[in-house]
C-alpha cells in the first residue's frame, strides 16, 4: 500500500530535516545574489529509517538552484523520497529550467517547503504544479527562520530594495568604533569573528566617505575559511572625493568597489576611478543636507541584484539610514572599552535608544562574545 511504501513522517522529523535544509541554505548567504540562497535536503527511508541522500544550497551566483543539485546527488534514491526545501521550488523558465519540473521528473513523493516564493514568476505556482503531479506538499515548516534567511530576496522582489542590516560597534561611553585599525579596535576577537561572518553573509557592505577618509578600511571578510567571501564594497561619495590611494581603490581589482556618486559629480574623477577598476554609479540627491537620496540608492542596488546590504558606518551614515526608516535589522556590538572625548559619537550625537524604540525594533538575539555583548534587533 502507499502507506507502507512511504512511511508517515512525524512533525518532529519534518522540523529536524527542515532545520538541516535551513542550515545548508544559510551556508550560501552572500554569494548567490541576485538569487536567494535556498537549502534543499532529499530524505529517503531505508529500512524504515530516514536518511539524507542529497543536500545542497543554491550555487554561487544563483544557479543551478538548490533542488537539482540535491536531486542529482541522490540519483535513483530520489525516487519516492521527501524533499525538504527552504523556499517553494520555482515554476518559471528563468536562467535555469523550473525546479518543480525536476522534482516531478525525479519521482519525489513528498515536498516540504518552508515558505512560498513571493517572486511574481512563482508565487504559489511551483506548489500548484507539484500538487497537480500528485506530489504531497506541505508548506510552513520552519517558516519563521526561512522568512529571516530569505529577507533579502523577499524585500527585493516585493519592494525592489535589499534587506538592510546596520552594524555598529559602540564603546562603553557611546562612541563609534570605526571599521579599520584606527582610532582603536574596541571589540575583541569573538565579536570581530561574528562581525566578519556577517560580512561573509552580506551581498554588499556600505560605508560613507567619512569612514574612508578617517579610517581607510579594507571592508573585506577576513574570517578564517571565509576569505573568499568578501562582499561588494560600496561607498556613498556624492562628490567622488574618495582618495585614489585609499585601500579600497587600491584593491578594487581584487574585490569589487562601487562608488555611489551624485549625478553632478565630476566626470574626470569618475574616469580616474574607473581606470583603477572602481565601478561608479550615479544616484539623485535629495537627502538631508542635499546628500544622496537613500531610497533611490537602495532601489539602484536592488536593480543591480543586491539582496542583503550591510551598513557599517560611520556615525552619520548610520543615523541617515535610521532616520530614513530604511534599517530592517540592527547589530550592536557593545564593548566595555572607553574611547574618550575625542572619538566620534556612535550616531553623530543622537541617542541610540531614542532612534530604535519608536520604529518598533524587537530584540532577537543577545549574546556574550568574550568581553563584548552583541544585541541584534529586527524591525517589526
* Residues contributing to the site for Zn ion (CB under 5 A): 65, 90, 99
Region from 31-39, 163-171, 331-339, 342-350 binding ligand AOF, contact rule CB under 6 A: 31-39
C-alpha cell at 231: 562582499
Q: Report the residue closest to ligand AOF, judged by CB.
A: 94
- Binds ligand AOF (CB under 6 A): choice among 63, 222, 291, 379: 63
Measured from the CB of residue 364, what is the shortest distance to ligand AOF in angstroms? 24
Matching residue, cell 534587533: 377
Q: Which is nearer to Zn ion, 99 or 292 (CB)?
A: 99
Active site residue 76: no
Which residues pair with residue 285 across a beta bridge? 292
Region from 34-42, 138-146, 257-265, 271-279 binding ligand AOF, contact rule CB under 6 A: 34-42
Instruction: List, edge to edge, every strand of the sheet that includes 136-139.
Output: 49-57, 39-46, 82-85, 110-113, 136-139
Number of H helices, E strands in the chain: 14, 14
Does 94 bind ligand AOF (CB under 6 A)? Our answer is: yes
Whether residue 341 contacts residue 293, with contact meaning beta carbons closer than 8 Å, is answered with no
Q: Determine the Cα–Cα distance for residues 363 and 330; give it in Å rounded to an integer.
A: 9
Does 83 bind ligand AOF (CB under 6 A)? Our answer is: no
Residues 119-158 as x/- pattern, contact with ligand AOF by CB under 6 A: x--x------------------------------------
Rounded to 5 degrees, what are φ and ψ at 30?
95, -10
SS3 361: strand
Q: Which is nearer to ligand AOF, 66 or 200 (CB)?
A: 66
Q: Which is nearer to ligand AOF, 235 or 301 (CB)?
A: 301
Whether residue 212 contacts residue 243, with contact meaning beta carbons closer than 8 Å, is answered with yes
Region from 55-63, 165-173, 181-189, 338-346 binding ligand AOF, contact rule CB under 6 A: 55-63
For residue 364, give every residue at least 6 positions away whose Cβ sits within 8 Å of its Cβ, in sequence order, or none.
Answer: 376, 377, 378
Whether residue 87 contacts residue 146, with contact meaning beta carbons closer than 8 Å, is answered with yes
Does 99 bind ligand AOF (CB under 6 A)? Our answer is: yes
Does 67 bind ligand AOF (CB under 6 A)? Our answer is: yes
SS3 242: coil
The residues that touch ligand AOF, with contacts defined as CB under 6 A, are 35-36, 38, 58, 62-63, 65-67, 87, 89-90, 94-96, 99, 117, 119, 122
Amino acid at each position: 500500500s502507499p502507506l507502507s511504501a512511504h512511511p508517515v513522517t512525524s512533525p518532529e522529523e519534518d522540523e529536524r530535516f527542515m532545520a538541516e535544509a535551513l542550515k545548508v541554505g544559510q551556508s550560501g548567504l552572500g554569494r548567490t545574489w541576485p538569487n536567494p540562497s535556498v537549502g534543499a535536503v532529499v530524505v529517503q527511508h531505508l529500512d524504515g529509517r530516514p536518511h539524507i541522500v542529497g543536500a545542497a544550497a543554491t550555487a554561487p551566483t544563483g544557479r543551478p538552484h538548490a533542488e537539482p543539485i540535491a536531486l542529482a546527488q541522490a540519483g535513483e534514491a530520489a525516487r519516492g523520497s521527501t524533499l525538504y526545501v527552504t523556499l517553494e521550488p520555482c515554476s518559471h523558465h528563468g536562467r535555469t529550467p523550473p525546479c518543480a519540473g525536476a522534482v516531478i521528473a525525479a519521482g519525489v513523493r513528498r515536498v516540504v517547503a518552508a515558505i512560498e516564493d513571493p517572486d511574481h514568476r512563482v508565487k504559489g505556482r511551483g506548489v500548484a504544479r507539484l500538487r497537480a503531479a500528485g506530489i504531497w506538499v506541505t508548506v510552513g515548516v520552519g517558516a519563521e527562520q526561512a522568512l529571516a534567511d530569505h529577507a533579502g530576496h523577499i524585500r527585493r522582489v516585493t519592494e525592489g530594495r535589499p534587506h538592510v542590516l546596520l552594524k555598529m560597534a559602540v564603546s562603553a561611553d557611546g562612541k563609534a568604533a570605526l571599521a579599520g585599525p584606527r582610532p582603536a579596535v574596541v571589540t575583541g576577537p569573538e565579536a570581530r569573528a561574528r562581525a566578519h561572518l556577517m560580512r561573509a553573509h552580506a551581498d554588499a557592505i556600505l560605508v560613507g566617505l567619512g569612514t574612508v577618509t578617517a579610517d581607510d578600511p579594507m571592508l573585506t571578510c577576513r574570517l578564517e575559511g571565509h576569505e573568499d567571501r568578501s562582499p561588494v564594497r560600496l561607498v556613498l561619495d556624492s562628490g567622488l572625493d574618495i582618495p585614489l590611494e585609499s585601500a579600497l581603490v587600491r584593491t578594487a581589482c581584487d574585490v569589487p568597489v562601487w562608488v555611489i556618486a551624485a549625478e553632478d559629480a565630476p566626470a574626470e574623477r569618475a574616469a580616474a576611478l574607473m581606470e583603477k577598476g572602481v565601478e561608479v554609479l550615479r544616484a539623485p540627491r535629495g537627502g538631508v543636507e542635499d546628500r544622496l537620496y537613500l531610497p533611490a540608492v537602495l532601489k539602484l542596488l536592488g536593480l543591480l541584484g543586491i539582496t542583503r546590504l550591510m551598513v557599517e558606518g560611520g556615525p552619520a551614515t548610520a543615523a541617515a539610514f535610521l532616520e530614513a526608516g530604511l534599517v530592517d535589522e540592527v547589530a550592536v556590538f557593545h564593548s566595555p572599552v572607553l574611547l574618550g572625548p575625542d572619538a566620534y559619537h556612535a550616531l553623530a550625537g543622537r541617542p541610540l535608544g531614542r532612534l530604535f524604540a519608536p520604529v518598533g525594533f524587537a530584540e532577537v538575539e543577545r549574546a556574550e562574545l568574550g568581553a563584548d555583548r552583541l544585541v541584534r534587533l529586527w524591525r517589526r
